[in-house]
Amino acid sequence: MIQMILIIMLGALTFLPLQQTWWQRKDFKIWIPARYFLGLLYGAFLFYAGLLDQTWTLITAAYVPIIAVWLIIDNSVVYMLVRSFRKKQAAAGASIGIVVLLVSVVFFMIQPLFLADSKYEIAGGEEVTEEDLNPVNEENIPVVPRSYAEYRADIMMGQLDNPAFYNLGTTRIQRMDESLYWITPIEYDGFFRWVRSDAVPGYIIVSAENPREDPQLIEAEMNYVPSAFFHENLERHVRMEYPDVVMLDTTFEIDDEGNPFYIVNYGHFTEFRRVAEVDGIITVNPATGDMEQYEAADAPEWVNRVYPPHIAEERNDWFGIYKQGIINRFFGREGLTQPTGWGSDDAVTGIVDDNLQLSWFTDHMRLQNEGEEGSRSMVGFTMFDARTGELRYFRDASGSLNGRTAMDLAERTFRRDDYVAGTPSLYNIYGTYTWVVPLMDRNSVLREIMLVNARDENIYGYGETKQEAFNAYQLELSSSTDEDVVPGEFTDLIEDTFTVQRVYHWDREENITVRLWLEGEDRIFTLGASSHPTAVFIEPGDEITISYMDNNESVQPIEELEFDVSQ
């Protein structure tokens, strides 16, 4: 706090006149205190209200133009009001201000042209193959989009004693109890609600894996939150303790015991505030205000994201457009790419591996000219590790459908229902790159989950639940592959004979799904009557021979059926 006050007071000196006449004449001197007060207000706006870092680069960028502007104003005013003041002297003083201002403007305009190589090196970007893609547990693949999670969280707000006092904060995905959840903190709805409330009442969790799991309102009184004011404002609370760090992002997370924390990602700028580097995190207990600072490598295990998504977005841009320098960016354009625009709020989306470690994912298409229609295929995709900042580029996905195309296909499939596709994500499912696309109605209610083969848009499956979608996709994948590819390349193909114990017919609009309980099996086998017409005649006690791809799931789709109706 003392450091901030000193910087504000010293910075206000730049508002004082450098023109000597202002200090000599009474009619000018009376304005000097007002100008100093204006300088104090400017500094308070930057450092108290704006919460900017108190570093020399910020101070230079904020105050050098102020000095230049006042030189121009002071010399111009003196020349116009003091007849004895010479034009040549006024022009010299004003010219210094103009030169300083022009140099500052030119510097900020030209400097980025010399940073292409530095930005590309900072982005990194190791080219890898499909074999380097971490495996994922099917159960942990998130299918609930952010907008649906926000919709369900908003409904839960009605359980609060005074729901009109609060708003929903930013919804983020994270792991909890070996599963993925969307977690939304509750925030104050303005200054007067903050004054009247003792604390924020808690947070809401919504499953990212199972859309049918009920959301939960977790009660936990929180005082230091981003929507609070004055000393209880979260970012101001951190700034008072850490005046020199650059606060890059703030997110809400919970630890392994369910205790809430705000995570402030911090770092510093290089290249005169053009490039942000992540240094670590600061954890804040919102109940007590206690803080702990960690370097990036030492962040607690339960922290999901050390590198915020906007850093991943920025470095994906640099990696795509600055290959071979700035000249190639505008003229040669060799090998240049850009992240695909999905038309959603998420430029990158969270992807997890089988250990639930988070990476920021986006696919790349060839660099487009301004106004040009977007490409329909990707040239690769990237995974940006949210804890280490490592960027990996999967070039072997070149020629596959990009995320925008997968979304369009999903929306066309349900055109009659007018469903809207949510943010897509890409996984290696059954040995092939596959897009997972959630579909919602116009009220953001999740209606369908669709899996689209990234190599062939004609291979897809969907269902109202994750299990249905995966089963439908697996069947379509096994029956639609090229002749020289056998289903066993995706998973094990098994043929066996069983005796039927129970039969259930599920009439679904244009198709009947037959579900079978077989002797010696603890899972359900299912097949559609449209593909196997004789299946509707199966009865308990019948002996059937089936072929299926063993995926160890609780509901196992059947690919081939041999059944003697006459038995």
Is the dihedral angle over the CA atoms 558, 560, 563, 565 positive or is it negative?
positive
Summarize pLDDT for 324-359 with one digit per residue, the tens: 888 888 887 788 999 988 776 678 998 888 888 899
**One domain for residues 158 and 94:** no
**One domain for residues 316 and 384:** yes
Domain with residue 532: its CATH number is 2.40.50.140
Does residue 362 fall inside a structural domain?
yes
**One domain for residues 410 and 513:** no
**One domain for residues 149 and 281:** yes
pTM of the prediction?
0.82
**One domain for residues 257 and 184:** yes
CA angle 466, 345, 375 (to 5 degrees): 85
Boundary-marking domain end, from 381, 397, 413 = 397
pLDDT in tens, the chain (567 residues): 889 999 999 999 999 998 888 888 888 889 999 999 999 999 999 999 999 999 999 999 999 999 999 999 988 888 777 766 667 777 888 899 999 999 988 988 888 888 988 999 999 889 998 888 877 777 888 999 999 999 999 999 988 988 999 999 999 999 988 889 999 999 999 999 999 999 999 999 999 999 989 999 999 999 999 999 999 999 999 999 999 999 999 999 999 888 999 999 999 998 888 899 999 999 999 999 999 999 999 999 999 999 999 999 999 999 999 988 888 888 877 889 999 887 766 789 988 888 888 999 999 998 877 666 667 899 999 999 999 999 999 998 888 999 999 999 999 999 999 999 999 999 988 878 999 999 999 999 999 999 999 999 989 999 988 888 888 887 777 666 543 333 334 445 688 999 999 998 877 555 677 889 999 888 888 887 777 888 888 999 999 999 887 766 677 778 788 887 666
Does residue 521 fall inside a structural domain?
yes
Does residue 123 fall inside a structural domain?
no
Does residue 132 fall inside a structural domain?
no
Q: How many domains does the chain contain in total?
A: 5
Does residue 139 fall inside a structural domain?
no
Boundary-marking domain end, from 264, 298, 332 = 298
* Residue 49 CB contacts under 8 Å (≥ 6 apart), including other chains: none
**One domain for residues 377 and 444:** no
Measure the CA–CA gap between 524 and 109, rounded to whole angstroms. Answer: 65
Measure the CA–CA gap between 404 and 457, rounded to whole angstroms. Answer: 12
Does residue 133 fall inside a structural domain?
no
**One domain for residues 251 and 375:** no
Domain range for 548 is: 491-562
**One domain for residues 448 and 517:** no
**One domain for residues 362 and 417:** no
**One domain for residues 74 and 191:** no
Boundary-marking domain end, from 480, 502, 528 = 480
Does residue 140 fall inside a structural domain?
no
**One domain for residues 274 and 327:** no
Cα distances from 89 to residues 21, 48, 84, 92, 264, in angstroms, run 12, 39, 11, 5, 51
**One domain for residues 293 and 337:** no
Does residue 15 fall inside a structural domain?
yes
Summarize pLDDT for 408-452 with one digit per residue, the tens: 999 999 999 999 999 999 998 887 899 999 999 999 999 999 999
Measure the CA–CA gap between 471 and 508, rounded to whole angstroms. Answer: 15
What single-letter DSSP state applies at residue 373?
Answer: P
